Homo-oligomer: A and B are copies of this chain.
Amino acid sequence: MKAEKKQVLIAGGGFGGLTAARVLGNHSGLEVTIIDRRNHHLFQPLLYQVAMAALSPADIAVPIRSILHGYRNINVLLAEIESIDLKNKKVETNVRAFSYDYLILACGASHSYFGHDDWEELAPGLKSLEEATEIRRRVLLAFEQAEHEESPERQREMLTFIVVGGGPTGVELAGALGEMSRYTLARDFRHINPERTRVLLIEGGPRILPTFDPELSEKAARGLEKLGVTVWTNAMVSRMEPGSVTIGSDVIHARTILWAAGVKPSPLNSALGVKLGPIGRIMVEADLSIPGFPSAFAIGDQANFSHGLPGPLPGIATYAIQEGRHVARNLIREAAGKERLPFVPRDKGIMATIGRAFAIVERGRLKFSGFFAWLAWLIVHIFYLIGFRNRVVVLFQWAWSYVTFRRGARLITNRDWRSIGRQSDVSKAKGRP
């Protein structure tokens, strides 16, 4: 007699969801469906390199369907979740409805503009490939426009870049901007000196990279300054208009503003009717299940896990992976009639790069910075990238950039695909955006 297979629904193909799916793959008692509104798994930690023209989108993104094609018990669906009914164990998507036995919520997070949603158009954030290529377009276009701008004042505005948010993403973006203008673009322009680019990194708190040891924060700040990045701490953006940002009582004129300041979890969370943490993540039990709904779990950036910890786990890839693996293993235990185990996170360390051949690494009491930290960063990122092809291509692009000081993906592509023979962004950009 064969038992009915349990249906596991995984929402989201990021680090957490994909890890859970792989652990559950080929398990005979479980039928898995993984839903994502993208067809690809995105290696978020390198997304800033797409925005900064170092890598191509396909270098860091792999079709979820292709990653999981070897597991016969896994279905992949490109769809958008519309509603979740935890009580009746039902999920509605834009293409069909599902009943589940187990639900793993791994939908990640998006940007928070702290109530200023109108800032999004002015200051794009960095969560998707589309946003990364839009940032790339804006940054490269600013240099191109500065090249033929005759007013020195407007030229300065075009060569001023503001990055809001001093976490790892903001630091990596600002460092790459500094590096690009100093090394990559310096020789390509006739009428401007890209080295005179102003890059401002704005952080609301007293120091950048607050999750790192203060000493490493300081090293990162000095590394940024060497690349020509000005770091402003204790600085809050209070107003944003096309071409200018108000920070405290200062008004800075800048054509390009990038947002790396805050995240907010999926809008699904507030519709669930469950308890949410301070930044809207789902409060979870020790086994990552949602209180009152033992067959539903939340992991990664969507979960607020703090059992046995001084505070909730930060939303980084290593914890999402651990959580995805843990939930999947508990489901396998349960299928075998065993008890679930509580989740015990392991600190795998944190790292950030600051421009060329410089990084900071912190793992427990181990702290180091400089070239070897950068090598460690490099090895870890190549290792966690999915797929042989991507590893080879990314490693080659890095080696090539390192030797030539160039960037391989300096493309300005338009927003509208029907752009031939029509008014392009170049001419629109004559006026302020």
Across the interface, do A80 and B408 meet the contact criterion of CB distance under 8 Å?
no
Given A188-B66, A389-B400, check contact A413 B148 (CB 8 Å).
no
Across the interface, do A389 and B418 meet the contact criterion of CB distance under 8 Å?
no
How long is the Cα–Cα vector from A130 to B130 in the complex, in angstroms? 12
17 contacts between A and B (CB under 8 A): A37-B424, A39-B144, A56-B56, A58-B408, A65-B189, A66-B188, A69-B187, A78-B141, A80-B423, A124-B417, A130-B417, A131-B417, A133-B413, A389-B396, A389-B408, A392-B400, A393-B397
How long is the Cα–Cα vector from A38 to B144 in the complex, in angstroms? 11
0/1 string, A22-36, CB within 8 A of B gives 1? 000000000000000
Across the interface, do B94 and A427 meet the contact criterion of CB distance under 8 Å?
yes
How long is the Cα–Cα vector from A424 to B38 in the complex, in angstroms? 9
Residues of chain B with a CB closer than 8 A to A421's CB:
110, 266-267
0/1 string, A403-433, CB within 8 A of B gives 1? 0101011111111111111011011001000
Q: Is A382 an interface residue (CB 8 A)?
A: no
Q: Is A195 an interface residue (CB 8 A)?
A: no
- Between A65, A120, A147, the greatest number of chain B beta carbons within 10 A of the residue's beta carbon is seen for A65
Q: Is A47 an interface residue (CB 8 A)?
A: no
In A14-60, which residues have CB < 8 Å from any B CB?
37-40, 56-59
Residues of chain B with a CB closer than 8 A to A393's CB:
393, 396-397, 408
Q: Is A365 an interface residue (CB 8 A)?
A: no
> Contact partner of A188 among B69, B145, B188, B416, CB < 8 A?
B69
Q: Is A116 an interface residue (CB 8 A)?
A: no
Across the interface, do B418 and A80 meet the contact criterion of CB distance under 8 Å?
no
Q: Is A252 an interface residue (CB 8 A)?
A: no
0/1 string, A329-368, CB within 8 A of B gives 1? 0000000000000000000000000000000000000000
Report the minimum CB–CB distance from A326 to chain B (whole Å).
27
Q: Is A378 an interface residue (CB 8 A)?
A: no
Q: Is A140 an interface residue (CB 8 A)?
A: yes
In A61-96, which residues have CB < 8 Å from any B CB?
61, 63, 65-66, 69, 75, 77-80, 94-96
Across the interface, do B412 and A39 meet the contact criterion of CB distance under 8 Å?
yes
Closest chain B residue, CB of each to CB of A38: B412
Q: Is A323 an interface residue (CB 8 A)?
A: no
Across the interface, do B417 and A61 meet the contact criterion of CB distance under 8 Å?
no
Residues of chain B with a CB closer than 8 A to A133's CB:
413, 417
Residues of chain B with a CB closer than 8 A to A154's CB:
none
Across the interface, do B121 and A418 meet the contact criterion of CB distance under 8 Å?
yes
Given A58-B409, A410-B66, check contact A426 B79 (CB 8 Å).
yes
How long is the Cα–Cα vector from A94 to B423 in the complex, in angstroms? 10
Given A131-B420, A415-B417, check contact A426 B80 (CB 8 Å).
yes
Q: Is A2 an interface residue (CB 8 A)?
A: no
- Between A58, A110, A140, A413, the greatest number of chain B beta carbons within 10 A of the residue's beta carbon is seen for A58
> Contact partner of A417 among B39, B78, B134, CB < 8 A?
B134
0/1 string, A195-229, CB within 8 A of B gives 1? 00000000000000000000000000000000000
